[in-house]
Amino acid sequence: MGFKALQKSDWVNLLIAIPAGIIAALVTIGFRLAIGGIDGLMFKDGSDITRAFNEYPLIVWPIITAVGGVVAGFILHWALRYESRNGKMPDYLDVIDKRLPGIPVVSTLLRSLSSLASIASGSSIGREGAMVQLSALSGSLLGRFTRFTSLHQSDVVAMAAAGGLAAVYHAPFAGALFVAEIAFGVTAVQRLIPLFISASVAVLTVRSVTHYAPLYLYSSAVFSPTPGAIFTVLAIGAATGILGPMFIASIDKVRRAMQPISHPALRLGLGGLAVGVVAMVSPLVLGNGFEVIDLILNNRDLHTSLGLLLLLKIVATAITVGSGAVGGLFTPSLLIGAASGALVCTCLQWLGFDPGPMGLYAAIGMSALLAATSHAPLMSIMMAFEMTLNSSLLFPLMLATAISYVVASRFKASGTYPVLTRLNARFAAKSDFENGTVAALMCPCSKMYLDATLVELVSEGLKQRTRYVYVIDREERFVGVVATNVLATGIIDGSLDKEAPIDPYIEHEFTVLYQQSSYEEAWAVFSSSPLERLPVLENAETRRLLGVITKAALLSKAKDFL
């Protein structure tokens, strides 16, 4: 089916994925260069933000992060004022999910500049948020030139977003899965093909333009499935499944606490100041955490305990994101997950277990916690796998990530992406529709006994304003229906005796449903019938009339996922 569908489709649509991936990759490279340029002006060596701050006295650190926050806040305030006049800017995931016409240029650029100011000044936030949004903008602009095809502009945005994320993390499979799993809510082959093309081309572009290497090459260590190792994997899955919702909840608490501060510059400035104070305890909380992950994976000296690093990074990220800084949570989540996995491994080593190299469990923690915060387990598994290129990690990644996702889901907490809440609601509504029976939508109905007269039946039909009146015997068994409109005319003009029995006028062959009939069965019946309501019987043997189901009730049940 997929091959035939692909043959019949417009091949130009697939070719569009190539320039979408190239442009997305160039956008991410440009954003990285902008960060490097600003850090080059601020520091002698701005390649590692956690070390660059050491060039200045400790007391200056909060000033740098606070000034960065103020600048970011003023730019964000500018963006909000623009959006108040021209409409709120939709997130690229909303554009893809709701199939909106495109992404606003000015709002995206202003918010990306705000994110750039936050990132360059050391705020604890991910770079990927602005990079992927800008990549999606490039796809939106490219989509304007594809109106001659059958491709919707939001589909080009999806391609570019997948390419942007793939270029950021050098992970084409995970980039494609991210959009498919979070924005589409499906992994249909027909929709994945252009995403794979765009993501792969984006990574190839990055390889061609920049010095390529896997972000966290960790292929030397091998995971051995010993009982201690399996237990460690299970423990990491459970721990990150609990920690993930707590991390998201801490962000929400900071956001509510800072909500009374209306001006973004003041709010982000205070947030930056607080992050600078936290950084005075450990500079490892600065930035998105990219460099610190490498230290943990390779078991290098952090000069900070894992437990303290984990706590401080959660606090710093919660303050940054909660204050309204524009950016992502991907890399901070990866760092928190790496620290969690390494901490679980260390604790078990203290207890006398020897699960193996700590870096392996740090990588497993990265995937597990990312799934707990993003609610995208497939993407999380492939992200960690593609970043480390360690084939022995695939099984424990799957196990820990699945456990973490299930545990986190039990908390019923919202994830990083609101679009997932809508998709999950649609899925739940569709699942309920597929598994539900008409008994749940059944309502009482009017009915007449078999020994009623014509005038009694017509009076009941006129009172209930129904075309048909259902007829039952004294044991409540459904006999048939009588059409009241013809009988009413006959009684009025005198051609029918109003006291006559109704038996000669009963239609015994009439469409019915049973209480255990599925919604889908009822949908099929209503789709091929002009009737607005159908009688519901107990079963085919007893044929006892229980009530009626209406087309309006069934449509209302289906509207939540249609």
Q: Quote helix, strand, coil % in the chain, to nearest 5.
A: 65, 5, 25
- What is the number of domains present in the chain? 3
Domain-terminating residue out of 209, 239, 269: 209
Does 548 map to a domain?
yes
pLDDT of residue 2: 39
122 with 14, same domain?
yes
Does 248 map to a domain?
yes
Domain-terminating residue out of 360, 391, 419: 419
255 with 400, same domain?
yes
Does 349 map to a domain?
yes
339 with 471, same domain?
no
pLDDT of residue 219: 65
pLDDT of residue 345: 92
199 with 237, same domain?
no
Does 424 map to a domain?
no
- Which residues is 328 bridged to in the sheet? 126
Q: b/e string for 41-58 if b means 16 or more Cβ within 10 A?
A: ebbeebebbbebbeeeee
- Which residues is 449 bridged to in the sheet? 472
pLDDT of residue 303: 85
Q: Which domain holds residue 158?
A: 8-209
Domain-terminating residue out of 366, 390, 419: 419
CATH number at residue 54: 1.10.3080.10
460 with 537, same domain?
yes
Does 124 map to a domain?
yes
Does 404 map to a domain?
yes
Rounded to whole angstroms, the Cα distance separating 507 from 490 reads: 17
CATH number at residue 463: 3.10.580.10
113 with 255, same domain?
no
296 with 351, same domain?
yes
| Burial of 498 per CB tally in 10 Å (0-12, 13-18, 19+) | middle
pLDDT of residue 5: 43
| Separation of first and last alpha carbons in the chain | 23
Average pLDDT by consecutive 10-residue portion of the chain (562 residues)?
A: 43 77 92 89 81 88 93 93 85 80 89 92 87 90 72 83 86 82 65 79 83 66 84 93 93 93 93 94 89 87 89 95 88 93 91 84 94 88 84 87 90 67 71 82 88 84 82 91 79 78 87 90 87 91 92 85 68
Does 115 map to a domain?
yes
190 with 49, same domain?
yes
Question: Helices (DSSP H) in 210-288: which residue ranges?
Answer: 227-258, 264-281
Half-sphere exposure (CA, 13 Å, Cβ side) for 427? 11
Return the structure tokens found at 314.
């959660």
Q: b/e string for 152-173 if b means 16 or more Cβ within 10 A?
A: bbbbbbbbbbbbbbbbbbbbbb
442 with 347, same domain?
no
390 with 482, same domain?
no
pTM of the model: 0.75
Query: Residue 364: which residues within 8 A CB-CB, separation 6 or more?
Result: 233, 236, 341, 384, 393, 396, 397, 400
Contact 398, 380 (CB under 8 A): no
377 with 447, same domain?
no
Per this entry, what is the length of the chain?
A: 562
Does 366 map to a domain?
yes
317 with 291, same domain?
yes
Contact 174, 136 (CB under 8 A): no
Helix (H) or strand (E) holding 14: helix 11-15
Contact 470, 447 (CB under 8 A): yes
Return the structure tokens found at 261.
């501060």
User: Judging by DSSP bridges, how do beta strands 447-449 and 468-472 pair with one another?
Assistant: parallel
